[in-house]
């Protein structure tokens, strides 16, 4: 079993690089499966909050995935890049991932799987698959919430030296293996005005995942290749003159926090 080549030097992979490289090396040296490689990383890191990773065949037929993870504290894992990144995020943010799973499982227990997820499960899935966390000065937050892309990336560009963006969604990380300009993250808005390092702390992220808050969709879109230092082309201000990617604020405005 092999996985596609990954450029671990890309800035958006920095939080996952050590585990990712160790996992790829484990697979290359005969660990065999993605689940086994993730277990190798888990034991080597001494991570006590993370679940065990098991093969996909451990998921019984007809059993909802999220309910199974919640009941067994194990994560059925396929041999693909999507599930590899899912495991890396579990290892980096185990409390936040556990909270997402707890809320998903609670909704499934109450309403069943259903043809549609409902607003809370939609928000949980959006963050799990495509979410991001931002530690930034208030001026950048204001520009981002207003979709004022010129201020965010050109006028206040120097402030990005004080900022840090961490990608949380495993589908988002998978898409960025082949970077494209339109790829967009959904950034979780700060809780109670928090904009500093606590916004990236695993326990703090878990605490921010309140079902009532999530029902208001507290996310703002961010085209990730617009981040200074994340794409060479964005050194030219004209990079942002693309309304198909850097879209103005429309509709009802800023989502609820």
pLDDT digits (tens, 9 = 90+) for 5-42: 899 999 999 999 999 999 999 888 876 899 999 999 99
Domain ranges of the chain: 16-92, 126-240
Task: Please report which helix (H) or strand (E) contains residue 55, including its range.
Answer: strand 52-55
The tens digit of pLDDT for each residue in 61-90 reads 999 999 999 999 999 999 999 999 999 999
Portion of the chain with pLDDT greater than 90, in percent? 78
- Cβ-Cβ contacts under 8 Å for 12 (sequence gap 6 or more): 165, 167, 173, 176, 224, 230
- What pLDDT was estimated at residue 32? 80
Q: Is the pTM of this model over 0.75?
A: yes
pLDDT of residue 141: 95
Q: How confident is the model at residue 53 (pLDDT cuts 50, 70, 90)?
A: very high
Q: Rounded mean pLDDT of 89-102?
A: 97
Distance CA 105, CA 84 (A): 22
240 within 8 A of 247, measured Cβ to Cβ: no
Average pLDDT value for the chain: 92
């Amino acid at each position: 079993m092999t996985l596609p080549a990954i450029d671990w030097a890309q800035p958006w992979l920095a939080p996952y690089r050590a585990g990712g490289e160790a996992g790829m090396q484990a697979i290359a040296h005969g660990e065999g499966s993605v689940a086994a490689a993730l277990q190798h990383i888990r034991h080597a890191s001494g991570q006590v909050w993370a679940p065990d990773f098991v093969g996909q065949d451990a998921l019984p037929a007809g059993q909802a995935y999220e309910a199974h993870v919640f009941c067994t504290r194990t994560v059925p894992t396929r041999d693909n890049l999507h599930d590899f990144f899912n495991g890396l995020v579990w290892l980096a943010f185990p409390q936040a991932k556990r909270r997402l799973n707890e809320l998903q499982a609670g909704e499934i227990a109450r309403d069943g799987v259903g043809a549609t997820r409902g607003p809370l499960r939609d928000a949980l899935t959006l963050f799990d698959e495509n979410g991001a966390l931002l530690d930034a000065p208030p001026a950048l937050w204001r520009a981002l919430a207003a979709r004022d892309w010129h201020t965010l990336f050109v006028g206040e560009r120097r402030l990005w030296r004080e900022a840090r963006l961490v990608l949380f969604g495993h589908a988002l990380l998978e898409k960025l293996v082949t970077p494209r300009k339109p790829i967009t993250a959904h950034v979780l808005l700060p809780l109670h005005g928090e904009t500093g390092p606590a916004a990236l702390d695993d326990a703090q992220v878990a605490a921010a995942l309140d079902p009532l808050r999530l029902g208001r969709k507290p996310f703002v879109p961010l085209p990730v290749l617009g981040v200074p230092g994340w794409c060479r082309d964005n050194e030219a201000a004209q990079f942002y003159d693309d309304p198909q990617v850097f879209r103005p604020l429309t509709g009802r405005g800023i989502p609820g926090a």
